[in-house]
Structure 1
Amino acid sequence: MTPEAPDARLWSALHALRYTDLVLKAGVVCALQPFAFTTALAVAVNKNGYQRRYCYEHEHDARAALAAWDGTGHPGGPWIKCKGVGVDLLNPAWSTSATRVSTALRRR
């Protein structure tokens, strides 16, 4: 998304903080940010941080999820965990898979 004149400084500041793929979703700024072992899809981003983030193992999964997401509910794709202000949520799809794997390993 190309920022309009009033937002140009914010977009520039966020790029300097290593945020990429900046877009507006449901009225809030969302973006990707690389971490050491994951890529975050950050929600409600501002120059002080973000409200929450969804951690993806692969950058291409985070980018695809951001592009497809309308900004409501949780984004799609294989996010691992959602963290933020008052939030620490394991993706229910991962926890179900992890339970199946864990149960299968215990049976061995």
Structure 2
Amino acid sequence: MAAKHRRERRFQRQFDALERLIPPLRGPMSTLRRDSWFPIRFPLALLLIAGGLLSFLPFLGIWMLPLGMLLLAVDLPMLRGPISALVIRARHKARRLTRHWRTRQ
């Protein structure tokens, strides 16, 4: 039970971190996480994942895949742990690349 609660808190912290990282997403992300938005959130997540898989087409891109997985994890608790871990890794990698880029200039 404690591990489940810990995973849930970790997942919520990743949403909070992404909202701080990209402030314009704060409103839409908090709205989409509400339970009442399930009828919109679930199909949107599936569409984003499908668009990410079709990233070779114009406008569609690989950026859609992680966003879709993140939204899908809101409704599927079994995805929360792995998605949280991926978000953490991506944030650390982005921070390292940013530091490396700044030191080269």
TM-score range, shorter chain: under 0.3
* Larger RCO of the pair (alpha carbons < 8 Å, separation 6+): 2
TM-score, L = length of structure 1: 0.27
Q: Quick check: which one's strand share is greater?
A: 1
Q: Quick check: which one's helix share is greater?
A: 2
TM-score, L = length of structure 2: 0.28
Tell which structure's C-alpha radius of gyration is larger: 1
